[in-house]
Amino acid sequence: MIVLCTPVETMAELAAALAPHLAPDAVVTDAGSVKGSVVAACEPLLGPRFVGAHPIAGSDRNGFAAATADLYQGATCVLTPTARTSPAALARTRELWSAAGCRLVELPPQTHDAALARTSHLPHTVASALAALIERHVPEWPVLAGGGYRDTTRVALGHADLWTGILLANRREIATSVAELTEILQNIRAALEAGDADAIHALLAEGRSARQKFDVL
């Protein structure tokens, strides 16, 4: 069993290099944050033995020094089999990620990318944009920022090279999610300019209610 744990833009090249050397019963999966482009690139090279996967775990740290034994305990791992996927390969991939401690969810690659654009890729983009905005407009920010800054910008610490590849690989869905967020922000701006307390309160209450659901999972 082979698991590709490299930046998403390198996986097609790796799959092409691996393909001639695989044993007949070898299974290949991956841990990439984008599935549509990875599956589209790897499946023709590896055939039914390839099973796309995305364990939703990790942090802003990278490299061997950041390894933790319990990284996948209780984490969701999304598997993205297609009509071509071998049932035997899928079964072995399920066993692998379950043994690592993951809860398994199966989605089509495009459904995964649409969801993760909004739950992972957009938050990273927004955190980076917020950190950049504060740096540009508040020179004394290090002595004025507190927990709110820390919590909302933590993921901006992610490696820029890695995240550039992720954003480009899922660029259409992320661009759509940016437009969706922009519409909400424009509505907030209009409410602030109009002094519309009801509209502001409604959005804050909606956001609070949504965030509370995460804590009970």
Q: What number does CATH give the domain 112-215?
A: 1.10.3660.10
Global confidence as pTM? 0.93
- Domain spans of the chain? 2-107, 112-215
Percent of the chain exceeding pLDDT 70 equals 100
Do 157 and 131 form a contact (C-beta atoms < 8 A)? no
- Which long-range contacts link 99-102 to residues 24+ away (Cβ below 8 Å)? 100/55, 100/72, 101/70, 101/72, 101/73, 101/74, 101/75, 102/55, 102/57, 102/72, 102/74, 102/75, 102/76, 102/77
* 180: pLDDT strictly greater than 90: yes
Mean pLDDT, the chain, rounded, equals 96
* 216: pLDDT strictly greater than 90: no
Q: For position 64, what pLDDT does the model report?
A: 83
pLDDT digits (tens, 9 = 90+) for 109-138: 999 999 999 999 999 999 999 999 999 999
Per the listing, tokens 């035997």 go with 88
157-181 average pLDDT score:
96
Q: What number does CATH give the domain 2-107?
A: 3.40.50.720
4-10 average pLDDT score:
95
Q: For position 67, what pLDDT does the model report?
A: 86
Categorize the per-residue pLDDT at 217 as very low, low, confident or very high, splitting at 50, 70 and 90: low
pLDDT digits (tens, 9 = 90+) for 24-63: 999 999 999 999 999 999 999 999 999 999 999 977 777 7
Q: For position 104, what pLDDT does the model report?
A: 98
63-88 average pLDDT score:
93
Do 47 and 77 form a contact (C-beta atoms < 8 A)? no
Nearest to 97 by CA among 55, 159, 141: 55
* 167: pLDDT strictly greater than 90: yes
Cα(33)–Cα(210) distance, integer angstroms: 23
Cα(178)–Cα(206) distance, integer angstroms: 19
Categorize the per-residue pLDDT at 65 as very low, low, confident or very high, splitting at 50, 70 and 90: confident
Cα(80)–Cα(25) distance, integer angstroms: 20
